[in-house]
Structure 1
C-alpha cells in the first residue's frame, strides 16, 4: 500500500470536472445520518476521482475521509478534487479488500460509513492508453493498478483454450465463449494480440450475424471478462464485503454500487445474510446474540432515475444497495 498517491501522466482534475458520479444525491442521503458526530469516519473504498467523497465531505463538515483506490492516476485526481478538505482526508493506494490493513495502519477501529462504487471508472474508460474501451484502438492493458504483473494481452496470448473459455463464461457470461476463444487461439498463433481493435474484429467475426447486429456491442462481454480476470475484481469484492460489514461501527451505514449482475449478485447475497437472524428455523424466541446485525436501507437494488440516466448514460446499469448496523458485532454467532 502507498499512502502518497502519485500524480499520473493524465492526472488533471480539470479534464474530468464535468463528470457526475452515479446516484450521488441518493448516496449522500443514505450515508450522511451516520456521519453527524465529530470525528466520524467515512471510507470510500473506490474513491476514483473523488466525486462521491467531495459531496459526502461537503454535506458532513465534521466527518473525516479515508479514500482508497488501486489506481494511482485516480488518486492523483482525487487529491486535487478534495484539496479544500485536505485536513480531513487520508488517501491510500490499495486494493479495497486490503481495507482491514488500511484501517489498522491509520488507527481506525470502526468506520461510521463506507461506500464502494464498483467497476470501471470514467477516468479509466477515457484514458485511451489503458485499453479498457472497446470503442477505440489502444494497447490491451486493462490493469487498474500498473503494478499488476499481467495485462489483458498477456492473458489472451498465454492462457490455454480451457482457461480462456472459463474466463469468458464466468466473468462475461458470454454464451458464445467457445466460438470466440476458437478464433482468438487461431489468430494469436498467427500473430500475438497487442491492441484492442484487432481483438474487437476477431470477436465480431466469430459471433453469429444475429448476435453481432442484435443490439449492444459484440465485444462488451469479452472485454468485461478480461478486465475482471486481469484485476481479480470478484475476488477482491468477496474479500471486501465481510471485512466492511464486520468493521462497521454500531449505527454505521454501508452502500455499494454495482454495475453488472456478477457484482450485484455477490452484494445481494452478502447483504441478505447480514440482515437474517442466525437462529435455527422456528425457534420461538431468537436470542439477542443470534439476531440480525443489520437492516436494509434500500428495498432491493435501487436504480438511477430516468433523468439521471439521460444526463449520465454511464450510470444506466448502476444498482445501489445499502445497510445499517443495528446491533453490536458478536464474536460468536
Structure 2
C-alpha cells in the first residue's frame, strides 16, 4: 500500500473531506497518519471542529482501533526557514530574513520554489524515521491543489529547472521526485457523477500519467441513493403505462388525502410523476458518467451523500465506508 496518498479533485467535489476521511480510514489498528494541508484554507481544522492549525504536527483525532491522526498546515515561509536552517545553519539570521520580508519575496518571485517547499515538507514526513528505524507515520495524506493544478504542483523537477541547476534546492527537488514517482505514492482524484467534474478527472489522469506520476483511484463523492427500482424507472421513462388511479390510492394509503376525483391524493399525482421523471433523467446521467469513469481503467470507490450534512460524525462514517471498500488503490473496488 502506498505510504504517501495525494488527494485532488475539481473544486466543489469535496476533496478535503475525502482526504480527511482517508486519513481516518488508514489510521486503523494503532497506525499513525499525518494529514497535510497545503492551500492555507484551514479546511482540515473546520472538518475536525478544532482551532486553526499551526505550522506543527498536531494530533487531531483518534481512529477506531486506537490509531491516531495528526495534521499539519504547511506554511511556505516557515518551511523555507526550515530548509535554510537545514542547509545553511542560519539560525537567528533566518528569523531576521523573515522580518525583512526576504522569504515572502523569494516565494513570490519564484512560485516553483513554493511548490518545492510544500511537497518537500510532506515527503520529508513520508521518509522520517524514529530512533529505532521505524517510520514515524505509517501513511501521509495530502489535501492537494485542485485537478487543474495538481500535476504542475507535484512535478517540482520542472518547476525548479529555471531556479537551480545545482545546489540544495536542486537536490531537494530530486529527492522529492524520487518519492513522488515511486510506488510509495498514489494520487487519487475525487469527482462527482456530473459531466464537468468527470471530464476534468479524465483530463487530470491523462496529465498525471504523461508526467510519470502514479495515479491511484477515482473516488466518486456525494453519491445519491437510488430511490426507484429498475421497473419503476422504466415506467417513468414511458416504457409502460402508469396507472394513475393506483398511484392516487397509494398516496391516499399513505395518509395524503382521499383517492376520490379532485381529492388531495389525486392532485399530487402529476407533481409526483414530474418529480419522478426528473429523478429518472438524473439517474440516466449518473449512469452514463459511471460508464465514462469505468472506461478510465482505474479502481473506483464511492462515498454517499449524507442527508444530515457533513459533521465530525459524518466524517467517521465516510472513513468506515472507505475501510469497507479497501483503502489499497491498487485493488479493484466493487462499486
Decide: shared fold, TM above 0.5.
no
- Select the structure of larger CA radius of gyration: 2
Q: Which has the higher contact order (CA 8 A, sep 6+)?
A: 2
TM-score by length of 1: 0.28
